[in-house]
Each structure stands twice: as structure tokens, then as C-alpha cells.
Structure 1
């Protein structure tokens, strides 16, 4: 999702055994927020209650308030549908953003995404 994003920079999703993994690469910023929301919303639309959506942030380089707002919005929608929303491998910058905005306690974390 870096500037001048190529097809491989777009979030990708894979569903297996009650778990959807959405892999994010590059930046989660104003320029890419709509694309990020579309990918996460599509994963949520396919997710039955009790399943997991794991957002793999291992290759995400940056997140601003636009990206955070997408994550918060989809997390809330997932909560309402009984779907677990998990952030996997958040960067140091992402953790600092979550702490600064006091939204760190709203998310569940995993050290890595597995599918």
C-alpha cells in the first residue's frame, strides 16, 4: 500500500479454518484508507460469528489516523457481528500510535499471523 501501489501492495485476504488473514503491506494512510477498508470489510462480510479476522501488519510500514480509523471502524463492526478482530505483528510505530490514542486496549494482538 505504498505510494504508487502495485497490485502486490494491496491488502490480500485468505480464509481457512474459520480464520481470515488480511495481509497489509506499505502504508495505512489517507491515500490507502479506502482500499484498506474495502479489503477488511470484504473479509468481515465472509466471516461467520465466532471466527477470526487477523490483520497481518508484518509488512506495513506506517499507519496514520486514517488507517487507525479504518481499523477501529472495522473492529467495531466485527465486535457487533461476533467476529474476533486481531492485529498480528504490529510495528513499533503502530503500537506507539495505539498507545498515544489510548486505543491499544481495544485490540487483541498476535505475534505473527498464521494461516
Structure 2
């Protein structure tokens, strides 16, 4: 019984890791009923001296995420052309245009 449990756990872990890190485009049904492509926006936020900034608010098409301890963020399910709003207390907020077909990863500099 113990052996079966561990085999099932390994299968679950293998399947979840395979499904979680795909960097491909996905199809999403828009409210109008049309199927549109959705993209993933990734990037890193740093300050003026190049230090990563954890806890920065990143908002794309109404989806809000925060940067991790390394200043990294990832937002899935966004449209091809979108605006990204970046803000943090004591830093100047920014709005950046993003084209998912030409940009792979963003490097964002926040100024105080």
C-alpha cells in the first residue's frame, strides 16, 4: 500500500510540473464569444542601482500580481498588445506598452 501511494505521488508531481511551466500561447474565449490568443508576460523589476524590488504591484488587463523576492513577476492569460502598470510605495509609477509577439521578457527600472 505504501509503495502504491509513493508511485501515485510521483506521477502527480511529474504531471503538475509538466503542466505548470509551459511558455506557449493559450486560447481564451472572450466575452463576445470569439476565441483569442492569450499570452504570458514575464519580467523583473529593479531600482536605480540594479537591486531587485520585491513586492512591486504589477497590473495587466485587470490582473494584479506582485514581484517575488527576486523582483520577478509572471502574468498569464493577457492579450497580445497590452499596457502594464507598475507601482510601489515611494517609487514613481509607470505604464509600459507590451507587445507579446516581439518582447519575451521585460526589465523594468523604477525610480524614486
**Normalised TM-score (structure 1):** 0.24
Task: Kindly name which structure, 1 or 2, has the bigger radius of gyration based on alpha carbons.
Answer: 2
Structure with the larger RCO, 1 or 2 (CA within 8 Å, 6+ apart): 1
Which protein has the bigger helix share? Answer: 1
Which protein has the bigger strand share? Answer: 2
